Chain A
Amino acid sequence: MNKGVGIVETKYITFAEPPEEMALESGQKLGPITLAYETYGELDGARSNAILVLHAFSGDAHAAGFHRGDDKPGWWDDMIGPGKAIDTARYFVVCSNVIGGCKGSTGPSSINPETGGPYALDFPVITIADMVNAQKRLTDHLGIDRLLCVIGGSMGGMQVLQWVSAHPEHICSAIPIATTLKHSPQQIAFNEVGRQAVMADPDWNHGNYYGKSRPERGLAIARMIGHITFMSEKSMEAKFSRRLKDKDYSYGLQTDFEVEGYLRYKGDKFVKRFDANSYLYITKAIDYFDLSGQKLISSGTGSDVRFLVIAFESDWLYPPQQSQEIVRNLKMRHVDATYIEIKSSYGHDAFLLEVREQTTLIRHFLGRLYNGSGGDNAYEI
C-alpha cells in the first residue's frame, strides 16, 4: 500500500459577511459563512490540476491523511494520496465540509451572530445548490477557475451533479458515484423516518438542546435505519448471519443478535460526532434535490464536461437504475461519458469499500483528462 498524504490540518475561510450575505435557493440569506476545508498536493502553475472531492451525508473536510495525534485517517484515504486513485503527486485536492453540517462549516450548531447563541432552528433551510454555491466561493478564493474534476459518492454525487448543472464552465469532468438525479419517494421516506426519530426524542426540544441533554436516542435510531440502507441483504448475511452475541437466546428484550449490537454501536458512535439538527437539515437538502428533466444539462446545448458514472450492483439505496437515469440524460445530450455498474455485494457502502475497481477507473479517467493522452495503446498505426 502506498503511503498517504501524512499529517494534515483543517483550514477555514469565512465569507458572505453581512450585509453581503449569500442568497439561498429558498430566498432566505445566510452570512457570515465559514467553510472548513482541507487541501492535499500542490496546485500547478496553470491552476489546471485541482480536484474537488465532495463528501457524503455524514462526511467532513477531512478526506485524507491524519490529523495530529489521530490513529484514523480521513474518510477517503484509500482513494486520495500519492499513487492512489486521486494521486496527490499530480493533483491538487480540495475537500470542504458542507454548509448545514457540523464539522467546522456553518450549520445549525454554529453561533448566530444576531443572537450570540446557536442557530438551532433559526438556521435557514439549505439545499444541495446552496452547498455548491458555497463551495464555488471556496474554489474562487483558492484561485481555481476551472476544476479538473468534481467527484463524490451518495450526497457527494448530488453535489457533483449540481456543479454540472450550475457551473458547467468551471469544471472539466464529473464523477458521480452511487447517486441519483433526484430522491425517490422511498428515499424520502427513509429520511423522514430518521427525522421523526430525532424529533420524537424529548431531548430534541424543538432544536434547542445546545448546552443541555442532546437527543441522542432519537439520532441513534435515525442512524441505525441509515446503516440498514447502506448494506445489502447479502453483505448483512456475510457480516452477521444470525450469529448471537452470547451463547443462547436471552428470551428477553436485550441485544441477542450481532446485527443488533452492530446497529446500536453505529448509532451510539454517530451521536458523539454528529449534530441532530444538522441531521434534519442535511436530509431535507437531499430530499429537495431534483435535477431530473432538463435541469442537469440545459436543452439545446451540448456539454464539454466528461463523465464517469459509477454504480454498484447490490446498492438498493441508490440503485444502478438511478445512475442509468443520469446516463440517459447524458446520451440525449451527446455528452462524453462512461458508465459502469461494478459487481459488488456491499450495497451502498460499496462506494467506500470497492477501492481497487474504482482506483483503476478513476486513475485512468483523470490521467486521460490531465495528460490528454489516449491511455494504453491498442495498436501502433
Chain B
Amino acid sequence: MKSDGVRMDHRIIYDIVEPGSRVLDLGCGDGALMHLLATGKGARVQGIELAEEQIYKCVKRGVSVFHSDIDTGLSEYPDKSFDYIILNQSLQETRKVEFVLNEALRVGRKVIVGFSNFAYYKARIEIFFHGRAPVTESLPHAWYSTPNLHFLSIRDFESYCADKGLKVLARYYLGENKTVWLLPNLLALNAIFVISAEE
C-alpha cells in the first residue's frame, strides 16, 4: 500500500481534495491524512476519532480532533458545513451505515468513501476453495477480531448508490501497489468513491 512513503489511498484522496477545502475526516485515526491535507493543500481539517490513543497522536501532529464515535458525531453540524467528508476505512466499522452516510451527505458537499473490497479474488478463493472467512491484505483480521461490522464489495456499493439515487463523481480502484483498471470487483483490494447527494 506504500508508494514514496505515502499510503496509496492517502495519495488518491490527497489528489481529490481541492486546495483550501474544509474537510471532516470521520475515523481519522492518527491524523496522518489530515496532516497531509492541511500542510499540502492548505485544507482546514477536523477529525473525529473514537480511540483515545489516536487523539494524542493527532494532537502531536497539530490537527484538531473530536474524541467521539462517528454515529453521533455529525448531528450538530449545519448542512453543507464541509467541502469533503472523508470516510476512509471507517464506514465498515460504524453501526448505522445508512444513517452515517446520510449525515455525511447532508453535512458535506462531497463524501469520499474508502473501503475494502470483499469480492477481491483472493477473498473469493478463501471462501470458495477453502471454506474460510477471508483474510486478505485489505481485510487483515480474523473473523473474531475484526473491527468491521459490515462487509461489502465494489459492486455492492455501486448498487447502493444507484438505489439511493446518489451521484458517483469518481471511482478509484486500488490493487496491491497500483491502481486497477480491469475487473475492479475481482482485482481491487480497496476502492475509493466520491459521491454526493443528487440535486
A interface residue numbers (CB < 8 A to B):
306, 308, 324, 327-328, 331-332, 334, 336-343, 357, 360-361, 364-365, 367-368, 373-381
| Contact indicator A339/B52 (Cβ below 8 Å) | no
Cβ of B6 under 8 Å from chain A: yes
Q: Given the complex, which residues of B lie within 8 Å of A357, measured CB to CB?
A: 56
| Contact indicator A338/B35 (Cβ below 8 Å) | no
CB distance from B3 to the nearest CB of A (A): 11
A377 to B38 CA separation, bound complex (whole angstroms): 11
Provided the pairs A331-B77, A338-B65 are in contact, do residues A364 and B60 lie with their beta carbons within 8 angstroms?
Answer: yes
Provided the pairs A327-B66, A357-B56, A364-B59 are in contact, do residues A379 and B77 lie with their beta carbons within 8 angstroms?
Answer: no
A328 to B48 CA separation, bound complex (whole angstroms): 13
| Contact indicator B36/A328 (Cβ below 8 Å) | no
A365 to B62 CA separation, bound complex (whole angstroms): 7
Provided the pairs A340-B67, A368-B62 are in contact, do residues A332 and B77 lie with their beta carbons within 8 angstroms?
Answer: yes
| Contact indicator A360/B5 (Cβ below 8 Å) | no
From A339, A360, A375, A381, contact of B67 by CB (8 A): A339
Q: Which 10 A-B pairs have the closest CB atoms?
A: A375-B62, A378-B32, A368-B62, A331-B76, A378-B35, A340-B67, A339-B66, A374-B62, A328-B76, A375-B61
Cβ of B31 under 8 Å from chain A: yes
Q: Which of B101-144 contact A (CB under 8 A)?
A: none
| Contact indicator B66/A334 (Cβ below 8 Å) | no
| Contact indicator A379/B32 (Cβ below 8 Å) | yes
A296 to B35 CA separation, bound complex (whole angstroms): 29
Contact with A along B60-78 (1 / 0, CB 8 A): 1111111110000000111
A379 to B65 CA separation, bound complex (whole angstroms): 19
The size of the chain B interface, using a CB distance under 8 A, is: 34
CB distance from A381 to the nearest CB of B (A): 5
CB distance from B31 to the nearest CB of A (A): 7
List 7 A–B pairs whose Cβ atoms lie within 8 Å, in order of A's numbering: A332-B76, A340-B52, A341-B67, A342-B52, A375-B35, A377-B61, A378-B31
Q: Given the complex, which residues of B lie within 8 Å of A331, measured CB to CB?
A: 66, 76-77
CB distance from A340 to the nearest CB of B (A): 5
| Contact indicator A332/B35 (Cβ below 8 Å) | no
| Contact indicator B55/A376 (Cβ below 8 Å) | no
